Amino acid sequence: MLEAGTDDAANLPLSGIRIADFSRLLPGPWCTQFLSDLGATVIKVERPDVGDMSRHNPPVYETSSVYFNSVNGGKDSLAIDLSSADGKAVAHKLIATCDVLVESFRPGVTTKLGIDYEQVKPLNPDIIYCSVTGFGQSGPLSHISGHDLVIQALAGFAGLSSAPGTAPQVPGFQAADYAGATTACIGILSALLKRTKCGEGSYLDIAMFDSLFAMCNISQTSAMARMSGNTGEPELEVWGGNPRYCVYSTADGKAVALALLETRLWAGFCDAIERPDLIDENETPDARHSNHGAKAQEYRKAITDFCLSKNRDDLIEELTAHGVPVCPIYSPDEALNSANVAGRGLIEHIEHPTEGKIPQLANPLSLSGLTRRRRSAPRLGGSSETILDDLGFDSETRKQLFKKGVVQP
């Protein structure tokens, strides 16, 4: 088996696969970075001068965006002006050499740029063409920009934990972005496997909305029951209404998360806080994901009072000693520096040409020997000269492309 984060790229799953990455921001770039980790060669195609807009996202290490580096590692950058005929010609020559193309433009934009599937397929009939958009290439919302917050809202996901009559908070995780990215990654890998069996390319219409909605099977349980003619009651409660599966403040202004769904775990907690009177010997399995009805208020008060009586870390230590599953709610800094992250090797430090050594979130497949050690994200146009040379553009032609601003070196 390969070591975690191997340098032996020849033995990786996607060794020899070449990807033209026209995507920007989050879903497409995260997907192609994952594929690069698996051994693929990824050429990130960007606009000259500006590049991917996420290059300008705060915060920075010294001068370059932490965000951009977190989703574009291991790639090469080719900066070309797709609005020019010469730029389109360069893009077409690149596409003809690739196995996969990933783009994240609004429907119709690729046609104007000359890189839509209908124009690409004659250049490369076996290509796997992956379009990642907010709402897909068809449907009543296909024209809407696919921002994560909008998609979470329309999927019925964003407001699940809000109290009745109050506006929900902005979600703390870009669920739609990462759902789309993950589905795109799975789709591309599946299409590559299909091509080896059937010798055919594929067109993948990946919508962030579709991807997130397909993952909402738990949040949609009651709605699906009502769609079939039933009441949908009682609801599956995992959104804060169950006092035994919730978050609580502690005496020092911090917080903990309790997951006491099973009867035995609840009994262990009640014994630990010396409240055996809260244990219901006749509790049935259907109470596990309920709101506990008339008992909820008493349960919630007992948990709240106990948590507010102790500092977070003291509470964790005490309950852990009793075998009660309770965890601290970490800040990003605490999580990044936690023992579990270190123990699982989830942070890797890589060399950046201008930033020095920078931390990166490791690919979760690295411990399985399926990924390589990730290079830093590329400088805008940093590989333009090399890529043009590989595509057969001679020295004089390259100079002319640079001089005219068609390609940024």
Domain with CATH 3.30.1540.10 in the chain: 245-329
Kindly report, residue by residue over 218-259, the tens digit of the pLDDT: 999 999 999 999 999 988 888 889 999 999 999 999 999 999
Q: Taking residues 58-85, report their average pLDDT.
A: 97
- pLDDT value of position 162: 76
- pLDDT value of position 164: 80
Question: Which amino acid belongs to residue 242?
Answer: N
**pLDDT higher than threshold 80 for residue 335:** yes
Token pair, residue 74, equals: 């291991």
* The CATH fold of domain 245-329: formyl-coa transferase, domain 3 (3.30.1540)
- pLDDT value of position 5: 55
Q: How confident is the model at residue 3 (pLDDT cuts 50, 70, 90)?
A: very low
Residues 48 and 339 sit within 8 Å (Cβ to Cβ)? no
Distance, CA of 367 to CA of 135 (rounded, Å):
34
CA distances from 126 to 14, 89, 192, 199 (A): 16, 19, 10, 7
From 87-96, 160-169, 196-205, 346-355, the region with the lowest mean pLDDT: 160-169
What does pTM read for this prediction?
Answer: 0.94
**pLDDT higher than threshold 60 for residue 307:** yes
Distance, CA of 107 to CA of 139 (rounded, Å):
11
- pLDDT value of position 262: 94
**pLDDT higher than threshold 90 for residue 2:** no
**pLDDT higher than threshold 50 for residue 1:** no
Q: What are phi and psi of 214, to 5 degrees?
A: -65, -20
Kindly report, residue by residue over 21-52, the tens digit of the pLDDT: 999 999 999 999 999 999 999 999 999 999 99
- pLDDT value of position 9: 72
- pLDDT value of position 10: 79
- pLDDT value of position 344: 96
Distance, CA of 409 to CA of 405 (rounded, Å):
9
Kindly report, residue by residue over 158-194, the tens digit of the pLDDT: 888 777 888 888 988 999 999 999 999 999 999 999 9
Q: Which CATH architecture has domain 9-215+347-408?
A: 3-Layer(aba) Sandwich (3.40)
Is the alpha carbon torsion for 88, 395, 77, 16 positive or negative?
A: positive
Q: Taking residues 192-200, report their average pLDDT.
A: 97
- pLDDT value of position 240: 87
Say whether 112 sits in a helix, a strand or coil: helix
| Strands (E) located in 277-391 | 326-328, 347-352, 356-361
CA angle 331, 261, 230 (to 5 degrees): 110
